[in-house]
Amino acid sequence: MTGEYDRPRAARGGVRLHLNENTAGCSPAVLRALRSVTERDAAFYPDYDEAYAAVARAFDVPEDQIVLTNGLDEGILTATAAAFRDRGNGVPEGLGVFPAFDMYEVCTEALGGRMVMLPLGPDYSYPWNALGSGVNERTRIVYVTNPHNPTGHALALDDIVALSRAITPVMLFVDEAYADFTGETLLARETFAELPNIVVGRTFAKAHGLAGVRVGALFGHPETLAPIRRIVLPYTLNIFATVALPVALADREYRDWYAAQVIESKRMLREACARLGFGVSRSAANFVLVNVGDHARWLVEALAARQVFVRDRSSDPGCAGCIRMTTGLVSDTERLVAAMEEAWCGAPR
């Protein structure tokens, strides 16, 4: 890691299975709403009332416990910035696991902090006790991801709650970027009055297909969110995000249809991997981590040559041999499986 996020590339027109996007695109209703934006809408600063009301309704959370952000990446950045405002004990630290989503480390370092990372345990299990005891007087924020990225593993909500109690008052950032694919969320179970040090992050980039529109949300106790609210820029969501979000949240039918595609794609990919002798993580999300053994980098390139783009994770610590593959539209997964089977026949032995 160089401290700067390295944007993975893919040629245009290929099958993009490297960034866990919604490979079907946003809902048709969202596209209609985006097209309805007028000259004046573009000219005026957006009003966020409808977007906040829609999120409050969809998650059954009061508006004062919500901050909308320009993607969850901005949520991670601003929550970290808020946590780092207390510089009492020298260089502030973020604590997390590896392998994990890159942005925790990127944001921690960008804001002048130091990232401390503990390895996942056997079978990629979360090191709950080590995380709890890894907090020291410099730790300002602890990051967990549920379901985890890149493994797709679902965490037990009880373990998250226990960690938050153990590390109070240090902020626990619970990244629920893929929770739409499991339906399991702290938001449905816990109240922030009980757990004031938790900030839950959600994105509409993955299940809702709004990665290009950029919109995410943070949830937490109003007092925990107050310093974050001051850091998030007043017009951080543009007009398209503002218009798209309520429509996307309302179109449950589209989301359910896509979630069913993801489940079928995971089944197909697991079967194909079993035929090819690859290991597959048990994922609750819209991607799986596939362990192909010795030729991960070679296979990623062989797939790219066939216009199928997947994410090489094999050089991540603890991920030797691993490739992360998005499981989206069934037709995309069919192309992935066909390309994998064809390519693997020619693998160096």
Binding site for ligand PLP (CB under 6 A): 20, 71-73, 101, 145, 149, 175, 177, 203, 205, 211, 216
Nearest-approach distance from CB 22 to ligand PLP, in angstroms: 11
- Residue closer to ligand PLP by CB (options 67, 272) is 67
H/E segment holding residue 138: none
40 bridge partner residues: none
Nearest-approach distance from CB 150 to ligand PLP, in angstroms: 9
CA 81 to each of CA 176, 207, 227: distance values in angstroms, whole numbers, following the listed order: 19, 27, 9
- Residue closer to ligand PLP by CB (options 93, 175) is 175
Dump the DSSP string for 182-220. T---HHHH--TTT-TTEEEEEESSSTT--TTT--EEEEE
Distance from chain centroid for Cα 39? 33
Cβ–Cβ under 8 Å, residues 324 and 288: yes
CA 284 to each of CA 24, 150, 177, 260, 298: distance values in angstroms, whole numbers, following the listed order: 19, 11, 12, 12, 27
Which stretches does DSSP call E strand in the chain?
15-16, 66-69, 93-98, 114-119, 139-145, 171-175, 198-203, 216-220, 279-280, 287-291, 308-309, 311-312, 322-326
- Residue closer to ligand PLP by CB (options 99, 113) is 99
Nearest-approach distance from CB 120 to ligand PLP, in angstroms: 14
Nearest-approach distance from CB 75 to ligand PLP, in angstroms: 7
- Residue closer to ligand PLP by CB (options 79, 272) is 79
Nearest-approach distance from CB 52 to ligand PLP, in angstroms: 17
- Residue closer to ligand PLP by CB (options 146, 333) is 146
Cβ–Cβ under 8 Å, residues 245 and 251: no
267 Cβ partners below 8 Å, 6+ apart?
none
Nearest-approach distance from CB 327 to ligand PLP, in angstroms: 14
- Residue closer to ligand PLP by CB (options 96, 113) is 96
- Residue closer to ligand PLP by CB (options 236, 344) is 236
Burial of 37 by CB count in 10 Å (0-12 exposed, 13-18 middle, 19+ buried)?
middle
- Residue closer to ligand PLP by CB (options 84, 204) is 204
Residue 166's CB is within 10 A of a number of other CB atoms, namely 16
Nearest-approach distance from CB 215 to ligand PLP, in angstroms: 7
For residues 231, 44, 70 and 78, what is the CA-based torsion angle, rounded to 10 degrees? Answer: 0
- Closest-CB residue for ligand PLP? 71
Closest listed residue to residue 215, CA positions, set 248, 188, 184: 248
Distance CA 316, CA 5 (A): 14
Nearest-approach distance from CB 18 to ligand PLP, in angstroms: 12
